[in-house]
Amino acid sequence: MRPMFLGVTLMAALFAGGWAAAAECRIAPDRMAEVDGNRTFVLGLYETPKSEEICQAVAAAGFNLIYAGESKETLDLLQRHKLWGWVNTGARIDFSADAAARQNQLKELAATYAGHPALLVWEVPDEALWNVWYGAICWRKDAEPQQQKALIDALTDAAAAEALRGDMAKVQALWGEGAYAQAEALSDGIWTKLGKPSPQPGNNLSNAAERAAAMAQGMRQGYSALKQADAQHPAWMNHAPRNSIAQLAAFNSAADIAGCDIYPVPQSPHQGHSDLAEMSVAAVGAYTDRMQAAAPGKPVWMVLQGFGWGDIQPGITEERKKELRRPTIEETRFMAYDSIVHGARGLLYWGTAYIEKDSACWQDLLKVAREMADLQPLLSAPDHSRPVAVSQSETFGSVDRGVRVLAKNLDNTLCFIVVNEWNGPIEYTLRFEAGDPATHYYRDTYSGQDVMMRDYKLTARIAGHGVQVLKPKD
């Protein structure tokens, strides 16, 4: 496969003392962003700062990419704080319907914002693929039965009402069997018997794959039109943690950068964002692997949890809200580095608009972002050219997952990012080949613990769901 370069020139005529007069952003062959010739690990935030003070705090924490909405004022605010922004194209990039109108709207959007010096990337519709399926699920399994029940309950013909309730029960049974087309046909028949047209004809789970394929084709057409209107900014696509690799890949052909959101805290049989076998905080690494498989050769930017599930569910009790808690700082740190070790070239956080700015969750996130920003040279450094062999000492658990290591070549010196995906402590050993640019003494950035390498072997212990960043000791 040929190396991928986007050759993106970003017109950034920034204020005195800020960025250079013009910035160039490209995607290097190893999928790392290069902004104005500088390798850059992206740290982003979906929340649009509502004040200079919040924007200042975000910038001070080391974030470099912020959701701007369709607002020149917000882009101006970001520019003043030397931050990049992104704008979402919305449905305008999907030419599967109203192609001519949407093409004109897309051109207008590009003409309005492409020249702003703070714009870094376009985002296409969020979770577009999943919403094809989810929209049908929400309609057919939730809203439609509720509407039908209300109409049936209002009938004065008791026998007809009872028969229709029987049909509804059959629909639910068919759903449980996975007989979607039959369930949908029977439900359509209920509308006919009620003398009403279906409010959402064709919004079916049984045809979702076909509708998704049509949307993917429409988005490829829109992506091509966007590139013609603005060849200077890459397009980024965020997915839900759902759908097959094949479907994800079809959509990713309409973007330069891909990724997904995954919010696994708290792990619970009744509240699990991951639908993989891995449902712990280590799910972020598993989904990073899936995104890379669905977008080979393209950067993966993962969207991580900056909120608690209880923050976005109004009307729940305080007890339930505590159960649907926010991530701890240890979980926030682990999820970030687990994504990185699995190959993410950028991280963005969603949900912070729902948490208080004096909360521990917000302050923890700022702290972890600052830690990563301070490690920007390491995070954006090239990966080591050869894999590092990792072995683990025996312990009491099943250890169905364990230590993962990413070796980075920073200024011709090996550094290591280590995560433990198991929930208990593990002793591990890294083995190297003669000639690897390693040093004899390393220090963990977080614990301050020193580790010595002997005979091209490094042995250390790491806590459950722990993180280590091993750099040469000064």
Q: pLDDT digits over 48-68, tens only?
A: 988 899 999 999 999 999 999
Higher-confidence residue of 17 and 401: namely 401
Q: pLDDT digits over 298-351, tens only?
A: 999 999 999 999 999 999 999 999 999 999 999 999 999 999 999 999 999 999
Q: What is the mean pLDDT of residues 373-380?
A: 97
Which listed CATH number (2.60.40.10, 2.170.120.12, 2.60.120.650, 2.60.40.1180) goes with 389-472? Answer: 2.60.40.1180
What confidence tier does 272 reach under pLDDT thresholds 50, 70, 90?
confident
430 pLDDT above the threshold of 90: yes
pLDDT over 90, % of the chain: 84
- Sheet-wide strand order for 38-40: 8-10, 23-27, 33-35, 38-40
pLDDT over 70, % of the chain: 93
Pair of tokens at residue 124: 């296409």
CA-closest candidate to residue 331, choices 360, 354, 356, 353: 360
Q: pLDDT digits over 237-267, tens only?
A: 999 999 999 999 999 999 999 999 999 999 8
Domain residue spans in the chain?
8-128+209-379, 136-208, 389-472
Higher-confidence residue of 115 and 338: namely 338
DSSP per-residue codes, 349-379? EE-GGGS-TTSHHHHHHHHHHHHHHHTHHHH
Report how far apart the first and last C-alpha atoms of the chain are (Å, whole number): 40
Could you please state the CATH topology (level 3) that the domain comprising 8-128+209-379 is classified under. Answer: TIM Barrel (3.20.20)
Q: What is the mean pLDDT of residues 196-205?
A: 96
pTM: 0.92
- Residue 407 has what pLDDT? 94
Contacts of 123 (CB under 8 A, 6+ apart): 86, 87, 88, 89, 235, 236, 237, 238
455 Rama sector, left if φ>0, alpha if ψ -120 to 50, beta otherwise: left
Backbone angles phi, psi at 303, to 5 degrees: -105, 120
Beta bridge partners of 261: 303
Q: pLDDT digits over 89-114, tens only?
A: 999 999 999 999 999 999 999 999 99
* Cα distances (Å, whole numbers) of residue 301 to 205, 258, 295, 336, 387: 29, 6, 11, 11, 22
Q: pLDDT digits over 4-47, tens only?
A: 333 333 333 333 334 433 346 789 999 999 987 889 999 999 99
Q: pLDDT digits over 141-184, tens only?
A: 999 999 999 999 999 999 999 999 999 999 999 999 999 999 99
- Residue 26 has what pLDDT? 82
Relative orientation angle of helices 208-229 and 99-113, to the nearest 10 degrees: 40
Matching residue, tokens 């490209």: 26
CA-closest candidate to residue 287, choices 342, 249, 347, 337: 342
- Residue 19 has what pLDDT? 40
- Residue 17 has what pLDDT? 38
CA dihedral 355, 361, 363, 364 (to 10 degrees): -150
